A and B are shown apart, each in its own frame.
Chain A
Amino acid sequence: MDRRAFMRATGRGAVALAALSLASRLGAQDPQDSQGAPPAAPSAASNVEMNSDAYKKVSLPPKPDASPSMDKDAIKEFESKLACPCPCTLDVYTCRTTDFQCGISPAVHNDVLAMVNGGHNADEILAALTGVYGDYILTAPRKEGFSLLVWVAPFAALAAGAVAIGTLLRSWRRNGAEGSRNRRPSSSGAGAATVGSAASGTGASEPTGVGSSAEGSAEEMARLEAALRDDSR
């Protein structure tokens, strides 16, 4: 970067910062302000470069004799499902009520409030917003149509994995049964005799061929011993 470019960048930054400082002190993000005009120049989150094109005005003509269609809590819930068009990755409600010096989320909030006051319900407002922004305004894909795949895929993959593991375990069990049959003639009395070697913690030296007797058996003793002697390696 040459000196001229550096100066230009510094100058632009200084102007932007001065504007931001003024905006933050005077305009602020007033969550209660339904009449505030969208900011002329969106400010920047502390470490996120805002895109002034990110905000797009969305409006619907008020219905005759309109009254607000949602209360404060319903608006909060509704805005929690809207992604702020700035790169903060937060929802509109969270973004406009936190540290971020974002001018976009309050502007979207004002649009929502205007439509709420115009008597439009949540579905109508959502349709208007997605009509302008596309589904990118939603914090998560819809659970319908092609987007449903987004939600189903992880669970489908998990189910496939579970089936694969089940198949794998069955094959191991078949191997185990064969191995057991092959070893049976020499496996009697293995439990107590192999207690000492079991402590090494390796599969090869663990007692094998122990039958179905469970509680208090030599196998249990070996396992206990292995448990307490299996020092970290």
Chain B
Amino acid sequence: MILVGELSLWVALLMAAWTTIVSYSGGHQGRADLIRSGERALYATFAFTLVASIGIWTALFTHDFSLKFVASFTSINLPKVYTFTAFWAGQSGSMLFWCLILTMYAAIAVFSNRQTNRPMMPWVTGTLGVISLFFLMMMCFGANPYERIDWIPPDGRGMNPQLQNPGMAIHPPMLYLGLVATAVPFAFAVGALITRNLDAAWLGAVRRWALVSWFFLTIGITLGMWWAYVELGWAGYWAWDPVENSSFFPWLTGTAFLHSIMIQEKRGMLKKWNVTLVMATFLLSILGTFITRSGIIESVHAFAKSDVGYWFLYFLIASTALSAYLVATRLNDMKAKAELESMVSREAAFLYNNLVLVGICLATLWGTLLPILSEWVSGDKLNVGRPYFNTVNWPLGLLLLALTGIGPLIAWRRASVSNLRRQFTFPIALGVVVFVALIALGMRAPYALVSYLIAGFVMGTILQEFYKGIGARRRMYSEGLFAASMRLVGRNRRRYGGYIVHFGVVVMFCAFAGQLFVREVEPLVKTGDVVKATDAYGKEWTFTSQGLSSFNQLNRKVLAISFAVTRDGKPMGILSSEKRQHVDSRGEDTFEPSTEVGLLESPSQDVYMVFTGAVDAQTAAVHITFNPLVWWVWFGGIMMAFGGIIVMWPQAHRSERESGYVAEMKPRAVPELVGAGS
């Protein structure tokens, strides 16, 4: 099977080359036979890439250490689940995994459009073929997972302990599913530009794929935050590390696109901008991959530096040049008669939403690339870390949050003053109530207060939208509260799914603001020592050391420290943190010692402990952090993903009863619904 897999990789390469040649030729000459052949070749590319992937999995599970990839990232005693996930633990395997997803997406996209968008499909197929060809070439000639070593070691090196974590098992696939999905809208954009079919027709297919990308990126980024939090040990979940930022860029532009596409759908405007965003999202995915793979910028979890990164650089340059050429030569085809009745309108709110999203993206990109830019320009390398990103992105983030609440309150085209007053009254009131309540409770941190004020306002908007929508359904269809709520979301998934996503965003911002109230202590403790500390809520905590203990566990030797924890005298359980030394099947140490953090989680705060190190046989250094509201980061991520599922879920056909309700409505029956998400 391993040999079959290796051969399949080369056959997939040939199939991708064939896909590209015949699809473009078919599109150019209008020959249906070539177009059909190209599509079939794309399916074959996926099939052979799948076989190549199965070959690698076979090698991993049979411990075929003659393969460099298997010997480098697994060992005989590696748990089965991580033997499976080792597929994407290293450079070449992760490239094959990336290619597997890409060809799978490409096959789905081509198959689902076998009856639609026919004029542009040869170009879409060809473009997906080119991208697949690039990845397959890179693997075959640059980072081949089937590369062999000329002797067979008795055991492999094993997997990096920090990758032996459930979060890291799921996080990369989710991220890849998101990043790779940006290729499909890009291919459609290329197809639409080449064939000059730039009206709303191509947007339907693109929007679904953009949603798929956004959905998986959201999950992937959130899982990455969770992994960093529980595994890296610095008590935070986002360090503005270049690799983290790399996944954030396409998420930001993808989010901007999902908003601006509505303007094109509703008003036929922003064609150029939407095409640019689609292309930029894909190019940023490639840029991020280049940053990650090349090691050009130092990162705590960048993959090993290798020349593979430069394949991405060349591909990025070529793709950018092609994109710029296509857009520049089709500008006249994307002209639209843009009309607006008022500066205060949904269109304007969406434009500013796009500005802030792209602004955050550019500010983050600027900070990420600055170390190399400064070195090129002045010869002195500048360091751009968390202070820069937090200082710049915090106000932009709050602005974005405010726009999240403002947008749905303003009607398309224009809004009257009385309409605005009525729409904004409740959300603003709720924001002010939250603000005053927090001051009354003793909160004084200005950034936090502003954050919660805006969060209250946005929550007011969301609640108001649901309240009005449910009320309207109850009046129109005489439905009960529950049925009206469910059907409101079910019948208007895009709108109310979007509001659920907004809710997740609000929750996340509230959680982010909790970071302003972190408390920490770093004591040295001997067995029986008691550490006392006070959290941000004023609660008194005691940590009584139970001492150090050492034991063997699975594929590791463990040195642990435990504390009996109380809060205001009430027992809260045992908190343990471990130093782990992983070993191979012969008991030899592999990798560096790693730390397993101790965590007491609750919605109000996490108590997070890191066993920094043992000073001697009796004394340990620990770092205890009281981390408010972190639990809500994960909850917010789940809500965003849940909202994304609702938005993506295929819409059922409308019932006849609903389609005829117009005649039942009487003017002024529901005047409060002005601008309600229209």
Tell me the complex Cα distance, A170–B343, Å.
Answer: 7
Residues 147-181 of chain A, each 1 if its beta carbon lies under 8 Å from chain B, else 0: 10011011101100110010011111101110110
Complex contacts, A10 vs chain B, CB 8 Å: 153, 157
A20 CA to B589 CA in the complex, in Å?
10
Cross-chain contact B383 with A138 (CB below 8 angstroms): yes
Q: Give me the 10 closest cross-chain CB pairs, A-B, nearest first.
A: A28-B613, A99-B233, A216-B668, A232-B494, A154-B363, A223-B678, A139-B385, A172-B340, A99-B595, A216-B671
Smallest Cβ-Cβ distance to B491: which chain A residue: A231
Instruction: Give A94 to B625 CA distance when docked, in angstroms.
Output: 12
CB-CB under 8 A from B339, the residues of chain A are 172, 175-176, 179
Is A204 an interface residue, CB under 8 A from the partner? yes
B374-417 CB mask vs A (1 if < 8 Å, else 0) is 00001011111111100110001000000000000001110010
Which of A45-53, A57-65, A113-121 lies at the binding interface? Answer: A45-53
> Which partner residue on chain A sits nearest B650 by CB separation?
A232
Q: With A140-B385, A216-B671, A220-B671 as known contacts, state yes or no: A21 contacts B621, CB within 8 Å.
A: no
Q: How far is the CB of A228 from chain B (nearest CB, A)?
A: 6
The answer to whether residues A20 and B298 also contact, given A3-B151, A30-B615, A223-B411 and a CB cut-off of 8 A, is: no
**Residue of B at shortest CB range from A48?**
B300
The reply on B162 being an interface residue by CB < 8 A is yes
* Residue A104 lies at the interface, judged by CB distance under 8 Å to chain B: no
A77 nearest CB across to chain B (Å): 12
Q: Smallest CB-CB separation from A192: which chain B residue?
A: B667
Chain A residues near B677 (CB-CB < 8 A): 227
From A203, which residue of chain B is reached at the shortest CB distance? Answer: B267
CA gap between A136 and B374 in the complex, in Å: 11
Question: Quick check: A201 and B266 within 8 Å, CB to CB?
Answer: yes
Q: Which residues of B contact A90 (CB under 8 A)?
A: 234, 239, 300, 385
A12-33 vs B: 1/0 string, CB under 8 Å? 0110011011001111111111
Identify B383's interface contact among A6, A137, A215, A223, CB under 8 A: A137
Besides A95-B234, A220-B674, 9 other CB < 8 A contacts? A14-B589, A32-B621, A46-B161, A97-B610, A158-B355, A165-B348, A171-B338, A223-B411, A227-B673
Asked whether B234 lies within 8 Å of A98 as measured between CB atoms, the reply is yes
Q: Tell me, in angstroms, the Cα distance from A101 to B589 when the chains sit together.
A: 15
Known: A29-B613, A175-B339. A161 touches B234 (CB 8 A): no
The answer, among A204, A224, A233, for a CB contact under 8 Å with B673, is: A224
A217 to B597, CA, bound (A): 60
Task: Name the residue in A20, A94, A220 with the highest tally of chain B Cβ atoms < 10 Å from its Cβ.
Answer: A220
The CA-CA distance from A199 to B621 in the complex, in Å, is: 65
Interface flag for B547 (CB, 8 Å):
no
Residue of B nearest to A135 (CB): B382
CB proximity of B277 to chain A, nearest CB, Å: 14
Interface centre among B418, B524, B613, B651 (most CB of A within 10 A): B613
Q: Does A126 contact B (CB under 8 A)?
A: no
Q: A14-B588, A204-B268, A215-B419 are in contact. Are A169 and B348 (CB under 8 A)?
A: yes
A168 touches B495 (CB 8 A): no
Interface size on A, residues (CB 8 A): 100
Query: Could you show 9 A-B contacts with beta carbons less than 8 Å apart?
Result: A13-B157, A14-B588, A25-B613, A99-B597, A99-B610, A140-B386, A150-B367, A158-B363, A232-B647
Residue from B589, B623, B667 within 8 A of A21 (CB atoms): B589
Determine if A185 is an interface residue (Cβ-Cβ < 8 Å): no
CA distance A19 to B616 in the complex (A): 17
Contacting B at CB under 8 A, from A196-214, are 196, 199, 201-204, 206, 212, 214
Contacts A97-B522, A224-B673 given; does A165 touch B589 at CB 8 Å: no
Is A30 a contact partner of B265 (Cβ separation < 8 A)? no
Q: Is the CB of B654 within 8 A of A30?
A: no
B383 touches A228 (CB 8 A): no
Cβ-based interface call for B449 (8 A): no
A215-B234 contact, Cβ under 8 Å, with A97-B610, A201-B266, A228-B488: no
- Which residue on A lies nearest to B339, using beta carbons? A176
Set of chain B residues within 8 Å of A180, measured between Cβ atoms:
341
B164 to chain A, nearest CB (A): 11
Q: Chain A, 92-132, contact with B by CB distance < 8 Å: what is the 0/1 string?
A: 00110111110000000000000000000000000000000
Interface size class of chain B, counting residues whose CB lies under 8 Å from the partner chain? 35 or more
A18 to B642, CA, bound (A): 47
Residues on A with C-beta less than 8 A from B522 are 31-32, 97
Q: CA–CA, A160 to B491, complex, Å?
A: 40
A139 to B387, Cβ gap below 8 A? Answer: yes
Asked if B493 lies at the interface with its beta carbon under 8 angstroms from chain A, I say: yes
Q: Which residues of chain B from 230 to 260 have a CB within 8 Å of any chain A CB?
A: 231-236, 239, 241-242
For B623, the chain A residues whose CB sits under 8 A away are 31, 97-98
Q: Is B328 close to A, CB under 8 A?
A: no
| Distance of A205 Cα from B615 Cα, bound (Å) | 74
Please, what's the 1-or-0 string for B567-588, where 1 marks a CB less than 8 Å from any CB in chain A? 0000000000001010000001
- Given known A-B contacts A223-B411, A228-B472, A203 and B670 have beta carbons under 8 A apart: no
Q: Is the CB of A83 within 8 A of B385?
A: yes
Query: Pick the contact of A141 from B388, B491, B597, B615 — CB < 8 Å?
Result: B388
The answer to the question of B618 belonging to the interface, with a C-beta cut-off of 8 Å to chain A, is no
Give B425 Cβ to nearest chain A Cβ, in Å. Answer: 13
Pair A224/B678 contact, Cβ less than 8 Å: yes
Expressed in whole angstroms, the Cα–Cα distance for A32 and B525 within the complex equals 12
Query: Judging by beta carbons under 8 Å apart, are A88 and B675 in contact?
Result: no
List residues of chain A with CB within 8 A of the CB of B649.
232
Q: Is A186 an interface residue (CB 8 A)?
A: no
Q: Give, as a whole number of angstroms, the nearest-CB distance from A17 to chain B.
A: 5
